[in-house]
Amino acid sequence: MRTVDLEVVRSLYKLPGAVRMKLDVVPKFKPGDRVKARNIHTSGHTRLPRYARDKVGIIQLDHGVFHLPDARVSGQGDQPQHLYSVRFSARELWGAEAPCKDSINIDLWENYLDSV
């Protein structure tokens, strides 16, 4: 397994947007698009919370292109893709008992999302 220099990682996060990749990657989604979080079950790390899997949300914002952390930590390289802020209603995530006006935004990579 590859090791990562802690000082290199710290330097990446000192400036806002420092880890954003300056690549011209066509986004699959745009703000307002309905998407469904994939229902994935990996043996390794993922940044897709279980409570959001298989749930429908709406793209709020495209943050730009970033490396997919899951791929990088498993030795598959950067796999650059768009990172989106996706709004899910509380009821979509937690059922009819959740307050009807509440919602949560979750930042999710394109690889975690399917079109609805």
**C-alpha to C-alpha distance for 59 and 39, rounded to whole angstroms:** 18
Please determine, for residue 37, whether its predicted confidence score (pLDDT) is greater than 70: yes
**C-alpha to C-alpha distance for 22 and 53, rounded to whole angstroms:** 29
CATH fit for domain 20-115, picks 2.30.30.50, 1.10.10.10, 1.10.3720.10, 3.50.50.60: 2.30.30.50
| Sequence-ordered list of residues with C-beta below 8 angstroms from that of 14, at least 6 positions apart, any chain | none
Please determine, for residue 5, whether its predicted confidence score (pLDDT) is greater than 70: yes
Local confidence band at 31 (pLDDT 50, 70, 90 cut-offs) = very high
DSSP 22: -
pTM assigned to the model: 0.81
**C-alpha to C-alpha distance for 87 and 104, rounded to whole angstroms:** 6
**C-alpha to C-alpha distance for 104 and 110, rounded to whole angstroms:** 18
